[in-house]
Each structure stands twice: as C-alpha cells, then as structure tokens.
Amino acid sequence: MSEAKNSSECQNAFTLGQTSLQQTRGLPFVVIPDNGRVHTFENTLERPLHLEQAVKLDTAKDFIKYVERFADQNSIIFVNVLSGRFKAVLDYHEVKEKSDDGVVAAPRHAKHVANLTVEKTTEFKKIEASSGEKFTQTQFALFLEDVMPYINQPAAAELYEIVQTLNAKTNVDFKSGIRTDNGQVQLQYNETIEARAGVSGNLTIPEQIVFGIQVHRGGEHYALPARFRYRIKDGNITFWYDLDQLEKAIEKSMEDTVDYIRSGKIVTNQEEQAVLPGVPEYVTILEGSV
C-alpha cells in the first residue's frame, strides 16, 4: 500500500512539473511546488542567453587579436600601469543618450573579459631584486660576470678588468677610496703575500653603471642607470648598487605597451618591416581597474 502511494505521489509530481514548465525570454524553467525554488534548464538551449567568458592572454599580440574579434563600440580596456595589468571588458555598459542632466545607460552584464599581465623579463627581475643587496668582493665579481651582457656602460673591456682584479686580489686589505676628476672612484688596497705585507695597488671603479635591458617581455630596451656604492670596514670591502628612477623605467615600458595596444607598432627584423595592428579605434582605453 505504501509503495503504491509513493509511486502515485511521484507520478503526480512528475505531471505537475511537466505542466508547470514555462519560459522567460526563451529560458525554460519549472517552479518546484514544495519550496518555491525555480529550476532553470539553460544547458538545454542551443546557445546560452548571455556570453560569460574570462580569458587570460599571455602576449600583447594575442590580447589585441582577442579584443579585435569580440569588441564593439562600448568595450573598454582598463590599465593598471605599475602592476602591468590590462583588463578588457568587452560587454561593457552602453550609453544610450547624453544630456546636461547626465546619461541614459543600458546596462550589460560585463561578464565577457580578457586579461593580460605584461610580465617583467627574467633579467630585469634579477637586476631589480639585487638593487641595494650587499655583496662581498667575490660575490660582486660573480654578479658582474653574470650580468655583463646587460651592461652598456662602462665598456665590456673596462668591466672585465674590474672583475678580473676582484677575482685575483682576494688577500687584500682595502684602505680608502678617492674620487677622481672624471667621476670614478679609486680604491686603494694592500695585498698580503704569504702572511706578509705585499705591494700596494689601486682598483678603479665607475661611479655609475648603466644597464641596457628589456623591462617587460616583448618590449623595448631601456637605459637603466645605477649608482655604484661601496663601504670599507676593517680592511674588508662591501659592494652594492642602487637603481635610479626604477618606477619611471617601468612606467615608460608600460606606456610603450599601451601605445602598441592602442595604435599598433612597426617591427624591424632582418631589414624587413612588419606592421602589427592595435585594437580597433572605437575601443576605449582607460587607466584604472574594475
């Protein structure tokens, strides 16, 4: 008897569900009688009612292609310069009418977005992280050897001589540093040979080094100056450098990337030029975030 009753109730519920099937804007749904919950069947539609998609692109070129494919007159790209982030909201709100009293807007879902984070290059991150780090004599020689390909000034020959001296003169007692007329620093030391005081010598280092480096992946190369620093204590010397105008270099690199995304750019490769387009002119680019 109980089984028959349960079966009858299930049949009644099924029938009620079938007869209560409704549609709103093409979306089928039923209202469950017991709790009043609405159950939709969007996955049964041939196409979704609204486009919801969030993608992450790895290069500015692919970001531009994606925006060009889906953007319309109301699409907006937001840029956070210092973090290197771009966010394109492709289904942004539509402005229907403007007047002195404000605007009449047609809101949209703002759920179709494309994201791009412009990554810093490996070499730039290394040079940025090492700024202000204190090095021993040997550590600084190894560091200079490692980053020598990215240093524009001083010349490679001069830099190599400094590295060689730092590597060779390990048993030395540094005395003092003298700033010369040409802006360089002359470090005076006394070399110890077989536990006896040996010959005196000088090591000349530049007051400034200039890195020539890509800040962001795929971007231009920039001159990044850094001040040479040193400290002598009890005959031991400590080296380091401080990058100048670091934030300005990052901002300039991002500005160039924004210009590329907005207007495109010309790339020269093996004496051949290629034109890389930017996003469509009707796409708005703003500095900010959502």
Q: Could you read off the pLDDT of 189-215 as tens digits, one per residue?
A: 565 554 444 556 666 777 888 999 999
Residue 258: closest CA among 110, 55, 62, 64? 64
List the domain boundaries for the chain: 2-44, 51-117, 122-251
Sign of the Cα pseudo-torsion (213, 219, 223, 228, in order): negative
Q: Tell me the per-residue pLDDT of 37-84, one tens digit each, with 9 for 90 and over.
A: 766 656 666 676 778 899 999 999 999 999 999 999 999 999 998 889
Residue 177: band (very low, low, confident or very high) from pLDDT cuts 50, 70, 90: low
pTM of the model: 0.69
Q: Phi and psi (nearest 5°) for 104?
A: -105, 115
Q: Tell me the per-residue pLDDT of 216-250, one tens digit each, with 9 for 90 and over.
A: 988 888 999 998 887 777 767 788 889 988 888 88
> What pLDDT does residue 136 have?
84
d(CA 253, CA 215): 7
d(CA 277, CA 262): 9
Residue 41: closest CA among 23, 28, 25, 22? 28
Would you say 191 and 175 are in contact if contact means Cβ atoms under 8 Å apart? Answer: no
Owner of token pair 């490769």: 269
Sign of the Cα pseudo-torsion (182, 187, 190, 194, in order): negative
284 forms bridges with which residues in the sheet? 76
Helix axes 137-147, 156-168, angle to 10 degrees: 150
**How many CA atoms, within 13 angstroms, populate the side-chain half-sphere of residue 225?**
7
How wide is the angle at C-alpha 35 spanned by C-alphas 30 and 37, nearest 5°?
40
Distant-in-sequence, close-in-space partners of 61: CB < 8 Å, separation ≥ 6: 218, 276
d(CA 244, CA 127): 12
Q: Tell me the per-residue pLDDT of 181-193, one tens digit each, with 9 for 90 and over.
A: 555 656 655 655 5
DSSP category for residue 166: H
Structural element, H or E, at residue 87: strand 85-89
Structural element, H or E, at residue 186: strand 185-193
